[in-house]
């Protein structure tokens, strides 16, 4: 496996991290997306990634994008639950349209 170094003129998205998968496209509609490989290092606005020797390289005008590893970057409730009760003490008609919540404990 070869390495490729991608240097960007602007700061990288703050959520890019080692282990993410990086892709590129030269298609203005974004339908022809090609895999580069896994990101192995990040330094400032420079990404180093694995790339297959037979894989075509991106050009200076390619659009670079990345995806997170789903097995590592998950969110949601794990192991705990909450029970909620909503009451309306008014005699007027009321309708609850939507309820949503996301709660997590950052450390123990």
Q: Which of 47-51, 80-84, 86-90 has the lowest mean pLDDT?
A: 80-84
| Digit-coded pLDDT (tens) for 15-69 | 899 999 999 999 988 889 999 999 999 999 999 999 999 999 999 999 999 998 7
pLDDT band of 108, cuts 50, 70, 90? low
Task: Check whether 72 has a pLDDT greater than 80.
Answer: no
Residues 39-50 have pLDDT tens digits of 999 999 999 999
Q: How far is CA 68 from CA 30, 33, 38, 74, 99, in A?
A: 18, 16, 10, 9, 28
CB 20 within 8 A of CB 73: no
> Which of 10-19, 38-47, 77-86 is predicted with the least confidence, judged by mean pLDDT?
77-86
Greater confidence (35 vs 75) lies with 35
Mean pLDDT along residues 83-101: 84
């Amino acid at each position: 496996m070869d390495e490729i170094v991608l240097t960007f003129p602007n700061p990288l998205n703050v959520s890019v991290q080692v282990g993410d998968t990086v892709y590129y496209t030269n298609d203005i509609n974004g339908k022809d997306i090609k895999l580069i490989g896994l990101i192995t290092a990040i330094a400032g606005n420079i990404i180093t990634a694995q790339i297959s020797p037979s894989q075509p390289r991106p050009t200076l005008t390619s659009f670079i994008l990345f995806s997170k590893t789903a097995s590592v970057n998950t969110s949601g409730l794990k192991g705990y639950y909450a029970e909620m009760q909503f009451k309306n003490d008014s005699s007027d008609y009321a309708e609850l349209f939507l309820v949503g919540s996301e709660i997590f404990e950052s450390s123990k």
